Chain A
Amino acid sequence: MIEGFKNALVMIELELRRLRHDRTEIYFRAVQPILWIVIYGPVMSSVRAIPTGGVPYTDYITPGVMIQTTTFVSIFYGLMMVWERDIGILKKLLVTPASRYSMVIGRSMASGVRALFQALIILPIAFAIEVHFVPNQVYFILAFIIIFLSSGGFAAISAIVASFLKTRERFMGLGQAIIMPLFFASNALYPIQIMPPILREFATFNSLSYVVDAVRGLLITGYIQNLPLDLAAIAIFDTVMFTIASISFRRIIE
Chain B
Amino acid sequence: MKLAIQVNNLVKVYDGKVKALDGVDLNVEPGVAFALLGPNGAGKTTLIRILTTQLKPTAGEAYVFGLNVIKEGSKVRKLVSYVPQEMSVWTDISGYENLLIYAKIFGVPRLEREKVIDEVLESMGLDDVKNDLVKTYSGGMIRRLEIACAMLIKPKIMFLDEPTIGLDPAAKKVVWERLNFFKKEYGVTIFFNTHYMDEAELYADEIAIINRGKIVARGKSEELRRSLGGEIIAFTVDKATIKPDLIQNIRKLSFVKDVFENGNLSVLVSDAETALPRLIDVLKDEKVSVERVSITKPTLDDVFLKYAGTRVEEKGRISDVTHMRTMIRKG
Q: Does A pair with B?
A: yes
Show the binding face of A for B, using Cβ within 8 Å.
Answer: 6-7, 10, 13-14, 17-18, 21-22, 83, 86-89, 91-99, 253-254
Are B104 and A88 in contact (CB-based, < 8 A)?
Answer: no
A91 to B52, CA, bound (A): 10
Residue of B53, B88, B97 most packed against chain A (CB within 10 A): B88
Q: Which 10 A-B pairs have the closest CB atoms?
A: A88-B84, A88-B88, A88-B86, A95-B82, A92-B88, A10-B104, A87-B87, A91-B84, A95-B52, A87-B86
Is B331's beta carbon under 8 Å from chain A? yes
Closest to A93 in B: B105
Partner of B80, one of A13, A86, A95, A254: A95
A95 to B331, CA, bound (A): 21
Say yes or no: A97-B77 contact (C-beta < 8 A), given A86-B330, A91-B54.
yes
Partner of B93, one of A14, A93, A96: A14
Q: A230 to chain B: closest CB distance in Å?
A: 34
Is B310's beta carbon under 8 Å from chain A? no
28 contacts between A and B (CB under 8 A): A13-B101, A14-B101, A18-B92, A21-B92, A21-B93, A21-B94, A22-B92, A86-B86, A87-B88, A88-B84, A88-B85, A88-B86, A88-B88, A89-B88, A91-B49, A91-B86, A92-B82, A92-B149, A93-B105, A95-B53, A95-B54, A95-B80, A95-B82, A96-B77, A97-B77, A97-B106, A99-B74, A254-B55
Say yes or no: A87-B331 contact (C-beta < 8 A), given A13-B104, A21-B133, A92-B84.
yes
Say yes or no: A97-B88 contact (C-beta < 8 A), given A14-B93, A92-B83.
no
When distances are taken between beta carbons in the complex, the residues of chain A under 8 Å from B53 are 94-95
Q: Mark B308-331, 1 if CB is under 8 A from A, else 0.
A: 000000000000000000010011
Q: Mark B90-125, 1 if CB is under 8 A from A, else 0.
A: 101110010001101111000000000000000000
- The B interface, classified by DSSP as helix, strand, loop or mixed, is mixed
Partner of A88, one of B74, B87, B94, B107: B87
Instruction: Count B interface residues, CB 8 Å.
Output: 35
When distances are taken between beta carbons in the complex, the residues of chain B under 8 Å from A87 are 86-88, 327, 330-331
When distances are taken between beta carbons in the complex, the residues of chain B under 8 Å from A253 are 54
Are A10 and B101 in contact (CB-based, < 8 A)?
Answer: yes
15 more contacts with CB within 8 A, not counting A91-B54, A91-B82, A96-B106, are A6-B104, A10-B104, A10-B105, A13-B101, A86-B86, A86-B330, A87-B87, A88-B86, A88-B87, A94-B53, A95-B53, A95-B81, A95-B159, A96-B77, A253-B54
Show the binding face of B for A, using Cβ within 8 Å.
Answer: 49, 52-55, 74, 77-78, 80-90, 92-94, 97, 101-102, 104-107, 133, 149, 159, 327, 330-331
When distances are taken between beta carbons in the complex, the residues of chain B under 8 Å from A92 are 82-84, 88, 149
Are B88 and A7 in contact (CB-based, < 8 A)?
Answer: no
Q: B194 to chain A: closest CB distance in Å?
A: 16
A194 to B78, CA, bound (A): 57
Q: B84 to chain A: closest CB distance in Å?
A: 3
Are B90 and A18 in contact (CB-based, < 8 A)?
Answer: yes
Are A17 and B93 in contact (CB-based, < 8 A)?
Answer: yes
When distances are taken between beta carbons in the complex, the residues of chain B under 8 Å from A7 are 105
A222 to B169, CA, bound (A): 67
When distances are taken between beta carbons in the complex, the residues of chain B under 8 Å from A254 are 55
When distances are taken between beta carbons in the complex, the residues of chain B under 8 Å from A10 are 101, 104-105
Closest to B92 in A: A18
When distances are taken between beta carbons in the complex, the residues of chain A under 8 Å from B330 are 83, 86-87
Are B90 and A89 in contact (CB-based, < 8 A)?
Answer: yes
Closest to B81 in A: A95
Partner of B97, one of A17, A89, A98: A17
When distances are taken between beta carbons in the complex, the residues of chain A under 8 Å from B88 are 87-89, 91-92
Partner of B54, one of A18, A21, A83, A94: A94
When distances are taken between beta carbons in the complex, the residues of chain A under 8 Å from B89 are 89
A21 to B83, CA, bound (A): 25
A87 to B268, CA, bound (A): 43
A44 to B80, CA, bound (A): 60
Q: A25 to chain B: closest CB distance in Å?
A: 10
When distances are taken between beta carbons in the complex, the residues of chain A under 8 Å from B83 are 88, 92
When distances are taken between beta carbons in the complex, the residues of chain A under 8 Å from B86 are 86-88, 91
When distances are taken between beta carbons in the complex, the residues of chain B under 8 Å from A91 are 49, 54, 82, 84, 86, 88
A92 to B159, CA, bound (A): 11
Residue of A10, A13, A87, A98 most packed against chain B (CB within 10 A): A87
Q: A66 to chain B: closest CB distance in Å?
A: 25
When distances are taken between beta carbons in the complex, the residues of chain B under 8 Å from A99 are 74
A99 to B77, CA, bound (A): 10
Are B97 and A97 in contact (CB-based, < 8 A)?
Answer: no
